[in-house]
Amino acid sequence: MVLFFAAHYIYAQENNVSEDSLKINSDTLSMSETDDSDTSKFVLFVKKVLDGNLNWNFLITPMVNFQPETSWGFGIAGAYYIKPQQRGRIGSIGFNASYTINNQLNSNALATLYFGKKQKWFLYFNVGFKHFPDKFYGIGNKPENLIAKPFLYNSDNFYMTVQPQTFVKGNWIVGGSLSFRWENATAGDNNILGDSIANALNINGFKPYIMFGLGGVAAYDSRNNAFYPNKGLFFKTVITEYLPISKRLNSQLVKAQIDFRQYFTIYKDFIFAYQFITEWNFAKEAPFQMLPTIGGLELLRGVRAKKWNDDAMIALQGELRIPIWSIFKAAVFAGVGDVYNLKNWQWTTPKIGYGIGLRVKFNKSNANLRLDIARNNYDKNFKDFSTYNFYITVNEAF
């Protein structure tokens, strides 16, 4: 329904007509003349849609997902695409807001904005707020590392990341990173349960804390399109030092992140993409919410988010993108990864997420509406509906 109204609005904008001008004026036009004019315009509009040649700068779409950590969630996602006057990189401003039947609220806004005649400078910005009751499973990569009965805790979290960057030579990029994070997590009346678990497992995170991060960014980007590339590679590494502002947290944290992606056109519009991603924490008393983790909407779809957490995370995922017809494409994806403890490195069966998806192209920028269904390798009951994860959102996972 949202897409219908969006299409109706854009149809009027594309043809430079108003709502009033679409009405019949019997004094100046006959009924047959109006029908022919409007029909031809609408047919042309539909043809543009199916050819993927419509200049949709703005899109709002409903969001629906089902995940073990949220159950059913509903919301909206939107994006505005900023096209340069001449050939160049396309900037974007996006947002999403969702609410789940588990009383979880998640709102987020992010942007990539380019500046200057040659788009040499750009800014990445991400800000969000979460009210997210969730389950705490413990720390580690083996089932026996986790606590016997996961318990529910409440969390309010505000976060922000700002990364000003510049192209220095060819496709190489350098910049800075500024981060801010506030979180208040409690479990049980007066946080009694959270305090007891924190003392028993020697972890932090069940007291309000504020962290301020400052770091650097180095990247390389030769992709031919930021939203749906068919060739090129993307590499980004970020190293950030976080310092506590609150006296309740005595932790100095250094976080290192590496993200490597590559895209190939196998045959015509058949595309294979893969991503290697890793994250490492070097700290004595980091809050458990800031530990590297796997699973969720983008990394190892099908694996429950925040179930597996530890000092380091390593993951590899791939996706085959298959043309179907016109603006429709399919995807087959799989990923493998795990978390590890730096002091007591333990190998175990890696976590695997896999699934299939549908893509719907909605503008010339090759931005897609994404619909995925995914599972994992440790929930063995295929008949159990809760072991399946469903995602509907905008843009690719990587």
Q: What is the pLDDT of residues 333-377, one digit of tens each?
A: 999 999 999 988 888 899 999 999 999 987 776 778 889 999 999
> Regarding predicted confidence, which is higher, 19 or 79?
79
> Which pLDDT score is estimated for 51?
55
Q: How many domains does the chain have?
A: 2
Tell me, yes or no, whether 266 and 328 share the same domain.
Answer: yes
Tell me, yes or no, whether 132 and 218 share the same domain.
Answer: yes
Tell me, yes or no, whether 68 and 21 share the same domain.
Answer: no
- The answer to pTM > 0.75 is yes
What is the band of 41 on the pLDDT scale with cuts at 50, 70, 90?
low
What is the band of 6 on the pLDDT scale with cuts at 50, 70, 90?
very low
Instruction: Give the pair of three-digit tokens for residue 289.
Output: 């919410």
What is the band of 247 on the pLDDT scale with cuts at 50, 70, 90?
low
Rg (the chain; Cα; Å): 24
Cβ burial 298-307 (10 Å sphere, 16+ → b, else e): bbbbbbbbbb
Tell me, yes or no, whether 66 and 41 share the same domain.
Answer: no
Among 293, 300, 301, smallest CA distance to 340 is for: 293
> Regarding predicted confidence, which is higher, 38 or 89?
89
Tell me, yes or no, whether 71 and 15 share the same domain.
Answer: no
> Which pLDDT score is estimated for 50?
57
All residues at 6 or more sequence positions from 150 whose CB lies less than 8 Å from its CB, including other chains: 135, 136, 137, 138
**pLDDT tens-place string over residues 136-145:** 998 999 988 8
Domain boundary among 54, 75, 90: 54
Tell me, yes or no, whether 181 and 44 share the same domain.
Answer: no
Tell me, yes or no, whether 47 and 176 share the same domain.
Answer: no
> Which pLDDT score is estimated for 64?
80
The percentage of residues in the chain with a pLDDT greater than 70, rounded to a whole number, is 85
Tell me, yes or no, whether 8 and 130 share the same domain.
Answer: no
Residue 291 phi/psi, 5° resolution?
-70, 145
Tell me, yes or no, whether 109 and 186 share the same domain.
Answer: yes
What are the C-alpha distances in Å from 324 to residues 3, 235, 269, 360?
21, 30, 10, 10
Tell me, yes or no, whether 126 and 220 share the same domain.
Answer: yes
Tell me, yes or no, whether 190 and 159 share the same domain.
Answer: yes
Query: Domain limits at 364?
Result: 55-394
Neighbouring C-beta atoms of residue 295, cutoff 10 Å: 26
Amino acid at residue number 146 = L
| Stretch 213-231: mean pLDDT | 92
Domain with 154 in it: what CATH number?
Answer: 2.40.160.50
- Report the first-to-last Cα separation within the chain, whole angstroms: 28
What is the band of 291 on the pLDDT scale with cuts at 50, 70, 90?
very high
All residues at 6 or more sequence positions from 315 whose CB lies less than 8 Å from its CB, including other chains: 276, 277, 278, 294, 299, 300, 335, 336, 337, 338
The percentage of residues in the chain with a pLDDT greater than 90, rounded to a whole number, is 46
